[in-house]
Structure 1
């Protein structure tokens, strides 16, 4: 048996070669995909790209129709692509057929088609579309109410109907996409009319004949993208039910006290919180007897003039809505100069939305309008936001000013089991772009809080047990009747209990290989039970469109085969970047910037488009777009092909489409969950997604990844902070692309581990086994390393039934006597797995001591378990000092 000195030396030598020890040569770098080039199918020979000759165009314009513009019908197979020219096929079409539709579809289908408006003489404004009933010879009817024009409005992400105004500039073409639910009992030829009517112009009547025949379509055509039936998904309200999702419970209200899973808030007379408490222990497990106070005293909204602070006469607090999912309330308050209407809403996940509507009753000079949030010192130990990396809250005054050059409008302060996040906004809030695209879609400076950059946030160091967050807006003159909206969101953290059991049981396999044939064998051999399928795969070729017609059979077969081997399959699926390969591209383009985000087009320069967009985008989209991710296939079914994408608009109807697509994949492909990468999804959309995923009672997982946003391209934002409002519906985080192992323990805890927010995580670029395991973080196979030996260790130990006792928990039974060496214990009945990690580059000595009462047993058996490529098996004495090499650590098994 080796003596301690020799054992320490060997362990130290191993840990000094991290590439060897942890297989870092196997780690994936997705940016390498950008080095590949391939072919994007040219549209040069597309019939709808063949421009009318100048002579033919001039001859058409000389017709000068009574209406003052032209209408051309097109079926769904001839997408109108050009807005600055008309296709040759239009000028060749007889006049009588320009405004006639001849279509065919099947019973039960959602049928789509187009009308192209060409305005060569003058601009058209406020175009409307009306429909007649369509009837067949036997009196069968497709009612007018079954038709819709997607360009004129629809259903937003909250389930509310909205209208859009369509204008057509002089000399341009506007496509109007129309769709209709065809009854399942429809048969024969249906005839009807559609009237196009711009304001201040003559209407044009479109005569339509639709032949309906064949077998009934039970899925409305959603299974075949070429039909473009999925356009109806844009107007879906799926998942909008007012019910809590797992693991949440219904919201309860007793007088002014509102409770939800893990939290309680008591309202004051103003409608703002008097107190907020969480009910989690230091391992973020629910405990009804625990009350962690977030507020030292009630929150206050202050208006100060030259005469001093306004004195308020508060009205009655009224409950304006209550369901199992939320509670809403309202308070009206008055002073001599102002009226405030405070409305609030608390959801079952602990997200609280406030709207403070401030109205001036006369002309008044304002010295300041501010929100004062008195945190307890306990709930202000850590912070992130306002340009500060996550970790310990600085002891000095923090003075931050609004500047939308930076993606900063949020501040979180808290402890591991009690925190509060704020996001400040007004009625003009628009969700900004994330990642390297922030500069192309920045925050709107809120008129209220920002006040022409006079506003800001001070965080005042602790005094008498209080840490004050002061969100102020500064001096201004308000005119009589002027109204300002001081809106903000608060999220109480943790959002849910930690689920170590799920982390220990669910093992991901996540490869970047183009070829999927090896995924299932590799996953099975490694002991994984879930496969994440990225885009750029032979079964899923194009980004964020997994239901691509050509790939669906392959993807369906892959998932079925995986299920036979008891493997779950989850897909990369989010909203932010969207492939141009989608069949609905030109329909979405006809919606203006509603779905495809506005941008500089061919003039765009980004971190990955230093020389501008791909030539295909420049030729075919030309303007009003932002180029996004691209990659090419090196091998497999799509070898030589290239995927290019554009940025989508946050909070658009594309979210509805996304959710219907999720539902379709669950029901038709057997999807087991999704992997979300830097996303434009909002809180409500992911809540809806959670309902969809849980609808049949099966547990499906969402894991979320983010790049390092603390840089000039991303607006110096905190990666995890961007998505805090999504975390109630996320099962695991994977934060840290660009985060190194060298970061401080408090940064690991706050920005990487997910623990203060109720989630567990995995390591990415921060590849250090010991530091990761302090927080329950393992590498992801094979993307960021090899966790297989650690999976075996966890399984042999019984990690799924253990309790985590981290160094941040006063119940941690292990001490090292060295502040540079941290310890976490995983305790299971009469066994414990203890992790030590040296957080320096130099050797450190640990004087290991155990608190047997906290441990729950007296250890009589103590060893270093063998973990392949990490440490060898050996004995260890807890009575002697132990030396660890820089960046090293120990895994110790204790038994009674």
Structure 2
């Protein structure tokens, strides 16, 4: 970790500041979890039973008088009881103690804490002052006596925890002197080097008192380097709209670095969806705002000194100009310096537009316009009505989900449409349309628009269809006169026979109820739509308005929930009813009575996902076997696994969602795996970010753009260095990795895409393992593109714990993440999924992935191996010791499951069924033989008979055998005749070979 090494070198030099205090580190010289991360080393050379030390510690923590001071004898390591700490402030404190060993060294621990709560979500609680000194000893203290002990140095437990130099604070007197000097100015600007990240907000670093306010800044960069520096704005009054203007940088010969190559990430940028933006920066009086300025040094420039200006402005304030002198050396960097990220060279990734073009991603096919109104896409078809909404949606997937048919499955009973009902007479307003027109026709995207009008209302429809089956509608409703509505509703009329299953709107995945009557409750529920359909044809809908912001998920929904759509929610009058209406199954999304003034606009936006996304790839399921643990590669290969998933908190990927520090170790491991025919995927997502990220404080300077606002707390490092306004996330106690929650959709996603591209191209990762997802489909598509670039496999599998709980907003994992399913290779759903009490319809819709073109694996308790095989699922090695999938993998290989056709119980073509509806059978059909998975959901042990369509199997019944091979911890060896009763234990089943 070179950034820590650099800090350690500075510290080891024992640089001195005021009062000759030395700041050093002493790597793990004490137990930080009881004594804290910081101590003062005291030298006592006096005599007697009272040592007095006055410590100018310049602390950045608040209320130090409320924290315990512990004194330890360095000779024995024993805690000294006779201690009295007085006059404790952030600037200094006086500590009296009994020097029990006489002259020598004593250690004063001044921010001790203990960890409470869950190990992965700890709460660092700072110890309160205690009085352990005897009354007799206290009486002997003479407060007027001179100090007889000196401060030798202030130590941190390691370089990562040190406060030096940027968190060592200036005193109030020093600060006031500086403020008085610049009293006529609204703010002071302190230029700062990129390796000294500005960290604190409410205090000046003492480093700036020593240096004084500077009017110039000197830096050095290589040709082609992305060079970053800081302008620390210290506000002497409230500032609004702080900006930085740059001039060209010129050398003596007149050669320039153009201002187009110079930016400030705090004020301008490119959003995660490729939209340029400007950010308003306000600074409260007596606080510091870092402005990170970046220079993209051209690679073809001459070496030399390039000079220019950076001018900081604010509304109604005199500007401050800093002279910038950048020395460009003779070295040329081909990569912009990103191989030295501790220099903040990767901040350029924040504004990346890599992989934003909506190119078609395999296995999808280009959109095909058929005539004037129909669009073909992989396995699906949309016919557009003249009002711009779908007239019909069709799929062409077979029930088996392994291929495509020429016979369409038509989802809609009639076209999707709106009703605008007058309050006065209860009649619907008749909107006229002249038809729709295409505004963009590309292989990956089709866009069209339509205008529908009456004398009182106008509805502008803008739609976008993408190659994966994502259909997005922006519906702008404009009142042309004052209007009172009894209701405004969206109708999605399904064919009844296409609505077997439902998931969402408070419904657990499974069979669709006869009636669902749902109301908005965004404060508690992450629900705005549902999925309805069959295995081979379905539709997810979600209702939003123009102010939609993606909420947090995975334990954090309540801290950033959905915003109630103004249109659909209508002050909580709105809701959705799902049920049979005449000959259709109708989704009725209503918003209730409302009034619109002339000229008022409402947005009734909605998204549709047409499922399945593609046929299931059973061959990938049988041949790709994940091993979910860091381990010796040879031992992993011997298990039969083919892909290694490397979690965080491992030697080659230690820091959560920041896999860039130990990348050389990672590359070495991956190279070895590749040489042995194995693939390696890594854990990496954006829900939270390790505090070890080089860019932590640069990202903190962006306010709430990257990190969510919150109450702070959590592990001690976060409290001591991030201090305030964050949400503490996952913590790994073994390596003390403390993460902070990401705010949602922001520029860190641009960095994430660039980072994944770098890891693919330079480290050779074969894909990623996602532990829930905190980004939207735009980022997912970009990730898939960079992971599969240049022939890389780009395997993505998604794990989710069951999201149907209070903390997650009662949403179904599959429903929540369905927009990502087109780009996944496997599901792993996951903790808190109940594989014992839930029925087959739950397995099918919420766990298996089959209705969406995916396959999955089980986790909680190892899953139920008998029921899992109905859907082609095992669990994952070596996650659970009580359910080893290798015996089942062995049977797969002995049978020859590769190349077999999977025909599930959900298909009317399944050639083997049972005479008990609670016992399901799925067939893996091969030439001249079949592997039949039987699993029971019956309440008790039952005897069943197989009903076999011999002709469909292609097997002569007179010559057939039915054999159960012995599978360890699954079934004993046994042979059955065709008509035999087969005993099936409760919750279990068989794997039978018919041949």
TM > 0.5 fold call: yes
SS of residue paired to 2:758:
helix
Q: Which residue of 2 aligns with 1:891?
A: 991
Q: Which residue of 2 aligns with 1:11?
A: none
Q: Which residue of 1 aligns with 2:976?
A: 876
Q: Which residue of 1 aligns with 2:914?
A: 816
Q: Return closer, same or farther for 1:840/1:694 CA change in 2, 3 Å cut-off.
A: same
Partners of 1:507 and 1:59 in 2: how far apart?
A: 67
Q: Which residue of 2 aligns with 1:672?
A: 766
Partners of 1:105 and 1:864 in 2: how far apart?
A: 70
1:298-326 CA-to-partner distances (Å, cap 9, x unmatched) read: 11111111231001111331111110001
1:512-550 CA-to-partner distances (Å, cap 9, x unmatched) read: xxxx4x3313311101111000001111111000012xx
Per the TM alignment, residue 887 of structure 1 is displaced from its structure 2 partner at its CA by 1.2
Structure 2, unaligned stretches of length 5 or more? 1-117, 126-156
Q: Which residue of 2 aligns with 1:520?
A: 633
Q: Which residue of 2 aligns with 1:235?
A: 351
Is residue 559 from structure 1 mapped to residue 657 from structure 2 by the alignment?
Answer: no
Q: Which residue of 1 aligns with 2:748?
A: 654
Q: Which residue of 2 aligns with 1:134?
A: 249
1:805 and 1:827 in contact (8 A); partners too:
yes
1:549-576 CA-to-partner distances (Å, cap 9, x unmatched) read: xx12211111111111111110011110
Per the TM alignment, residue 392 of structure 1 is displaced from its structure 2 partner at its CA by 0.2
Of 622, 639, 663, the residue aligned with 1:504 is: 622
- Mapping 1:441-452, distance limit 5 Å: 441-452=560-571
1:278 and 1:291 in contact (8 A); partners too:
yes
The structure with the largest alpha-carbon Rg is 2
SS of residue paired to 1:748:
helix
Q: Which residue of 2 aligns with 1:55?
A: 173
Q: Which residue of 1 aligns with 2:790?
A: 696
Q: Which residue of 1 aligns with 2:961?
A: 861
1:825 and 1:835 in contact (8 A); partners too:
yes
Q: Which residue of 2 aligns with 1:719?
A: 813
Q: Which residue of 2 aligns with 1:27?
A: none
SS of residue paired to 1:49:
coil
Partners of 2:939 and 2:673 in 1: how far apart?
A: 43
Is residue 151 from structure 1 mapped to residue 266 from structure 2 by the alignment?
Answer: yes
Q: Return closer, same or farther for 1:830/1:41 CA change in 2, 3 Å cut-off.
A: farther
Per the TM alignment, residue 463 of structure 1 is displaced from its structure 2 partner at its CA by 3.6
Q: Which residue of 1 aligns with 2:37?
A: none
- Mapping 1:61-76, distance limit 5 Å: 61-64=179-182, 66-76=184-194
Of 834, 839, 850, the residue aligned with 1:744 is: 839
Partners of 1:406 and 1:768 in 2: how far apart?
A: 30
Per the TM alignment, residue 232 of structure 1 is displaced from its structure 2 partner at its CA by 0.5
1:66 and 1:202 in contact (8 A); partners too:
no
Q: Which residue of 2 aligns with 1:802?
A: 900
2:416 and 2:493 in contact (8 A); partners too:
yes
1:135 and 1:142 in contact (8 A); partners too:
yes
Partners of 1:99 and 1:671 in 2: how far apart?
A: 46
Partners of 1:470 and 1:141 in 2: how far apart?
A: 63
Per the TM alignment, residue 37 of structure 1 is displaced from its structure 2 partner at its CA by 10
Q: Which of the pair has the greater relative contact order for Cα pairs under 8 Å at 6+ separation?
A: 1
Per the TM alignment, residue 759 of structure 1 is displaced from its structure 2 partner at its CA by 0.4
1:149 and 1:176 in contact (8 A); partners too:
yes
Q: Return closer, same or farther for 1:627/1:84 CA change in 2, 3 Å cut-off.
A: same
1:239-296 CA-to-partner distances (Å, cap 9, x unmatched) read: 1123110100011112100111011111111111110000100012342412111101
Q: Which residue of 2 aligns with 1:614?
A: 715
- Mapping 1:123-272, distance limit 5 Å: 123-186=238-301, 187-254=303-370, 255-272=372-389
Per the TM alignment, residue 68 of structure 1 is displaced from its structure 2 partner at its CA by 2.1
Partners of 2:508 and 2:604 in 1: how far apart?
A: 26
Q: Which moved more, 1:174-183 or 1:216-225?
A: 216-225
Of 335, 348, 369, the residue aligned with 2:454 is: 335
- Mapping 1:702-851, distance limit 5 Å: 702-742=796-836, 743-765=838-860, 767-784=863-880, 785-851=883-949
1:100 and 1:207 in contact (8 A); partners too:
yes
Partners of 1:59 and 1:295 in 2: how far apart?
A: 75
1:699-751 CA-to-partner distances (Å, cap 9, x unmatched) read: 22000011111111111111111100011111111113101222111000000
Q: Which residue of 2 aligns with 1:598?
A: 709
Of 105, 113, 119, the residue aligned with 2:235 is: 119
2:574 and 2:591 in contact (8 A); partners too:
yes
2:938 and 2:986 in contact (8 A); partners too:
yes
Q: Number of paired residues? A: 837
2:515 and 2:577 in contact (8 A); partners too:
no
Of 426, 434, 443, the residue aligned with 2:545 is: 426
1:403 and 1:453 in contact (8 A); partners too:
no
SS of residue paired to 1:213:
strand
1:301-352 CA-to-partner distances (Å, cap 9, x unmatched) read: 1111123100111133111111000111111111232111011111000000
Per the TM alignment, residue 33 of structure 1 is displaced from its structure 2 partner at its CA by 5.8
Partners of 1:676 and 1:138 in 2: how far apart?
A: 52
Partners of 1:287 and 1:629 in 2: how far apart?
A: 43
Q: Which residue of 2 aligns with 1:22?
A: none
Q: Which moved more, 1:470-479 or 1:554-563?
A: 554-563
1:345-389 CA-to-partner distances (Å, cap 9, x unmatched) read: 110000000011011111111111110011111221100101110
Q: Which residue of 2 aligns with 1:625?
A: 726
1:578 and 1:648 in contact (8 A); partners too:
yes
Q: Which residue of 1 aligns with 2:578?
A: 459
Q: Return closer, same or farther for 1:796/1:138 CA change in 2, 3 Å cut-off.
A: farther
Of 684, 700, 721, the residue aligned with 1:573 is: 684
SS of residue paired to 1:558:
helix
SS of residue paired to 1:789:
helix
Per the TM alignment, residue 841 of structure 1 is displaced from its structure 2 partner at its CA by 4.6
Partners of 1:46 and 1:369 in 2: how far apart?
A: 62
Partners of 1:867 and 1:601 in 2: how far apart?
A: 52
Q: Which moved more, 1:759-768 or 1:107-116?
A: 759-768
Q: Return closer, same or farther for 1:399/1:408 CA change in 2, 3 Å cut-off.
A: closer
SS of residue paired to 1:695:
helix
Per the TM alignment, residue 40 of structure 1 is displaced from its structure 2 partner at its CA by 8.5
1:114 and 1:175 in contact (8 A); partners too:
yes
Q: Return closer, same or farther for 1:281/1:220 CA change in 2, 3 Å cut-off.
A: same
SS of residue paired to 1:720:
helix
- RMSD (Å), alpha carbons: 1.7
- Mapping 1:355-366, distance limit 5 Å: 355-366=474-485
Q: TM-score, normalised by structure 1?
A: 0.91
Is residue 543 from structure 1 mapped to residue 656 from structure 2 by the alignment?
Answer: yes
SS of residue paired to 1:827:
strand
SS of residue paired to 1:436:
coil
SS of residue paired to 1:655:
helix
Per the TM alignment, residue 797 of structure 1 is displaced from its structure 2 partner at its CA by 2.1
Q: Return closer, same or farther for 1:32/1:152 CA change in 2, 3 Å cut-off.
A: closer
Per the TM alignment, residue 44 of structure 1 is displaced from its structure 2 partner at its CA by 4.7
Partners of 2:405 and 2:851 in 1: how far apart?
A: 18
SS of residue paired to 2:406:
coil
Partners of 1:155 and 1:278 in 2: how far apart?
A: 37
Partners of 1:740 and 1:477 in 2: how far apart?
A: 46
Q: Which moved more, 1:402-411 or 1:414-423?
A: 402-411
1:749 and 1:756 in contact (8 A); partners too:
yes
Per the TM alignment, residue 42 of structure 1 is displaced from its structure 2 partner at its CA by 6.0
SS of residue paired to 1:727:
helix
1:842-895 CA-to-partner distances (Å, cap 9, x unmatched) read: 101111121012223335232112323322333222211111111121100122
Of 377, 381, 386, the residue aligned with 2:505 is: 386
1:483-519 CA-to-partner distances (Å, cap 9, x unmatched) read: 00000000000011100011111111102xxxx4x33
SS of residue paired to 1:405:
coil
